Amino acid sequence: MKTIQISTSPENHILKQLYSLNQDHAHYLTNLSSESDLSKLIELSDICMYLLSDDEVVGFMMCFREKSEHRSVNYKFFNDRESRFIYVDRIAIKEDHSRKGLGSNLYKELYELSSLKQLPICCEVYTVPLNQISLNFHYKNGFKSVGEYKFENNSVEYLTRPFI
């Protein structure tokens, strides 16, 4: 049975698993140099949700509100343009659990939280390297393109979804 936990201070054994999962997906997320770096991000975040299956982390999502001290260029794109929002900084599902609706479960929880606070949801998806599965998912779930950015080695498309 999979359960969603929400915590901005996960226990050490959970933090280790979150860090490992982040690093497994660093090509679409951001590579972090240590568990300590992840822990600092979690402390800055507004929401850190993770999916557990028998005490094993099989997925997670981390989100930030406007005016955070988060230093991401992608976060800054929204912070410079939106007065109120929730930003999905990272989401990852373990490879052997992917394509089973777990990401959708995390997003459903986020939709409820954003609706309660009447916040649009903002995120970016890689277009170089192309993450077509993520783009399709976001479009199917009501996200609209609001811009793009070309970095030296990759590119992203910025997306928003109004609260419902």
| Residue 77, pLDDT score | 97
Alpha carbons 130 and 133: distance in angstroms, whole number: 9
**pLDDT < 50: residue spans in the chain:** none
- Answer whether 80's CB lies under 8 Å from 9's CB: no
Return the pLDDT at 107: 94
What's the whole-model pTM score? Answer: 0.92
- First-to-last C-alpha distance (Å) of the chain: 29
Show the 3-state SS of 89-146: EEEEECHHHCCCCHHHHHHHHHHHHHHHHCCCEEEEEEEECECHHHHHHHHHCCCEEE
How high is the pLDDT of residue 46?
95
Give the sheet arrangement for strand 121-128, strand by strand: 2-6, 47-53, 56-65, 86-93, 121-128, 155-161, 144-150
Please report the pLDDT score of residue 26 as a whole number: 84
Tens of pLDDT, residue by residue over 15-45, are: 999 999 999 988 777 889 999 999 999 999 9
Residue 80 per-residue DSSP state: T
pLDDT at 2: 67
Neighbours of 15 (CB within 10 A): 19
Could you tell me the residue ranges of all domains in the chain?
Answer: 2-119
What is 2-119's CATH topology? Aminopeptidase (3.40.630)
